[in-house]
Amino acid sequence: MSLLASIGYFTLGGCIGHVLPRFPYLLLSRNKGFNTRFPPHPEAIPLSPYLTQRVLHMRMFYWMGLIVVLLPLILGLLTVRWGDAAFGFGLWISSGWYLLNRIQSLFGGQTPPWTNKMALDLQIISNQAEQSDACCNWASPYWQVTGIVCVNCNSKLSKMPRPDLGRKRSERKPMGFFRLLLSDGYPMVSLPDEEE
Ligand SMILES: [Zn+2]
C-alpha cells in the first residue's frame, strides 16, 4: 500500500476513534422531544429542576464515553492484528488518548464540562431566588453564556459560564457538530476575570 493511502487510513481511524466515544453527549438529548422544557439553543435558560437534571444527564453522557470507547479500542487492536494496520493504529491512538484524558480528569487538571458541583450550584442559586434574601422581589435567574443573571434586576448571580446543554444547536447541521467536537462541551467563551 502506498504511503498516502496509509496516511489516509490512519487519519480515518483517528477521526472515528475521536468521534465515537463522544457520541453519547453529541447525539443523545439533541432531538426536539428532549428539549421542550428549554428555550431554543442560543437563548438563556431559566433555572429550574429540569435544568439541574439536564446538567446531571449531560454528566452521565460524558462518562458513558468511557464504556463506548472500549469499542474503538478493541476494534483498533483487532484491526492492527488482522486488518489494515494503519487504520487500526489510528483508531487505537485516538481512543487511547481519549481514555487517558478522561482518566486524568479523575485525578486533577481540568474538570469535566458538567459536574455534580455545577448542578448543586444551580440548585442553590435557584433556591436563593425564592427566599427573602433574593436579589429582588421577582427574582428570575437565567443562565446566559457568560453566567447566571437575574433578568428582573440585572444583577449577576454567578460567573459560571454556560457549557453546552444538549439542546439542538442553532448553527446549520455540520457546523453545530464541529463546534461541539472542538469545544468538547465546554463553554465557548472564556472571559478574562472581571475587575470588581
Ligand atoms: Zn433580581
Pull the grid cell for residue 29: 438529548
Q: How confident is the model at residue 133 (pLDDT cuts 50, 70, 90)?
A: confident
Judge whether residue 16 has pLDDT over 90. Answer: yes
User: Is the CB of residue 123 less than 8 Å from the CB of residue 148?
Assistant: no
Judge whether residue 169 has pLDDT over 80. Answer: yes
172 Cα to the center of ligand 1, angstroms: 35
114 Cα to the center of ligand 1, angstroms: 26
Q: How does pLDDT run across 148-166, given as a tens digit for each residue?
A: 999 999 999 999 999 999 9
135 Cα to the center of ligand 1, angstroms: 4
Q: How does pLDDT run across 90-116, given as a tens digit for each residue?
A: 999 999 999 998 888 888 888 899 999
141 Cα to the center of ligand 1, angstroms: 7
Confidence (pTM): 0.87
155 Cα to the center of ligand 1, angstroms: 6
147 Cα to the center of ligand 1, angstroms: 14
Q: How confident is the model at residue 196 (pLDDT cuts 50, 70, 90)?
A: very low
pLDDT of residue 22: 92
Location of C-alpha cell 484524558: 101
46 Cα to the center of ligand 1, angstroms: 13
Q: Percent of the chain scored above 90 by pLDDT? A: 61
Stretch 70-84: mean pLDDT: 92
CA–CA dist 83, 180 (Å, integer): 31
Question: Taking the alpha carbons of 103, 104, 107, 112 in that order, is the dihedral positive or negative?
Answer: negative
